[in-house]
Amino acid sequence: MKRQVKLLQGNEACAMAAVAAGVRFFAGYPITPATEIAEILAQELPKVGGTFIQMEDEIASMAAVIGASIGGVKGLTATSGPGFTLKQENLGYAAMVQVPCVIVNVQRGGPSTGMPTLPAQMDVMQARWGTHGDHPIIVLCPSTVYEYYMLTIKAVNFSEMLRMPVIILSDAVVGHLREKVVLPDISEIEIVERKKVTVPPEEFLPFKPDADDVPPFVSYGKGYRYHMTSNNYDEGGYPATNNHQVADKLLRRLHNKIEKRRGEIVMTEEIMMDDAEVAIFAYGCTARSAYSAVETARAQGLKVGLIKALTLWPFPREVVEKYGDKVQAVIVPEMNMGQLVGEVERALKDKKAGVRPLNRFDGKMITPEQIVSAVKEVK
């Protein structure tokens, strides 16, 4: 087994991980600060028999990735805030018809075209609720180049395992950051393939789930009759628009297949939390400032710890709740006007700890000094 030591840019790590995870199709449209992912996959995918297509826009890109996945190929697209908005309609379609695919959003300041080259964390709620309907979603968020690599593989695996779209919510800092990383040998990495049909064509129902609430998958062109609709549908894939029982059962199942694996999907890192009196809840590039702030605060004798969220959705409420009666306060720094802080408040509504938001949305990172100052204010 041979591990690789590399100096990688975040977006480069994402592209390399996608290939390692078995992605063989990319469709996208250039947009700062995500373009490097497309550039690198344009070079790397043909080397492994994959396909790269630059589409006419983000709407078509998302549709092409869905089509490739239905045809049996692992697909990924990458964009930033405005392009992510354009993908939402087809993202909802993928969630409804249970098509595995991965969407990378390298966040920048908004709204609209906003601040194309500057970082932000303004798409947290767009990732959760951007497409309509009460759909479930998985959103992973790296704060280092190594995490970007490993979470990209996780995203592809979750997508294939659960037959659903998965979002990676990066940002301009992590996307363009270069760090030394030690990558595992590919033989050490678990790669998940989508569950295949085991029944003959005459017994096949395309959306009949197994006990894990995930229907086995069969690619188009393999001799099985297949029907898909974005309307409410039965196990045969045919519209059941006005069937309340089918609608109830389908939506519950879409959520249940995530909840059954919640322990595997929800990932956090708890740093110096054993004796912490103040906790910082952070994610993405802001977690880097938070880590530095914890070190500075500890050096000054302040008992501060960090809860770093690698999974934003489903929200890691159980981890936050665990510390609700152990710490005095939870500080939530975010590069937006306060998006995930509401989830922290909801998790702590019956707990002793207070919640202190710390927000910045001018295109500059929240500094460790700002976080340390907030710690001293709540002490």
Contacts of 35 (CB under 8 A, 6+ apart): none
The gap between the terminal CA atoms of the chain, to the nearest Å, is 49
Residues facing 167 on adjacent strands: 103, 139
Distance CA 358, CA 299 (A): 22
How far is Cα 69 from Cα 77, in angstroms, rounded to an integer? 12
pLDDT tens digits, 252-271: 999 999 999 999 999 999 99
Amino acid letter, 302: L
Question: 268-377, what's its fold?
Answer: Rossmann fold (3.40.50)
pTM of the model: 0.97
User: What tokens appear for 197 in the block?
Assistant: 């049909």
DSSP element (H, E) containing 299:
helix 285-299
Structure tokens at 190: 């678990």
Q: Is the pLDDT of residue 235 over 90?
A: yes
Enter the DSSP assignment of 53.
E
Domain ranges of the chain: 4-188, 201-265, 268-377
Which residues on adjacent β-strands are paired with residue 214?
A: none
To 10 degrees, the CA torsion angle through 102, 104, 264, 279?
-170
Q: How much is the pLDDT for 219?
A: 79
Beta bridge partners of 111: none
Residue 155: phi and psi, rounded to 5, are -60, -45
The CA distance from 9 to 179, in Å, is: 7
Share the mean pLDDT of the chain.
96
Over residues 286-306, the pLDDT tens digits come to: 999 999 999 999 999 999 999
| 4-188 matches 268-377 in fold | yes
- For the domain bounded by 4-188, which CATH number is listed? 3.40.50.970
Peptide bond into 216 cis (omega under 30): no
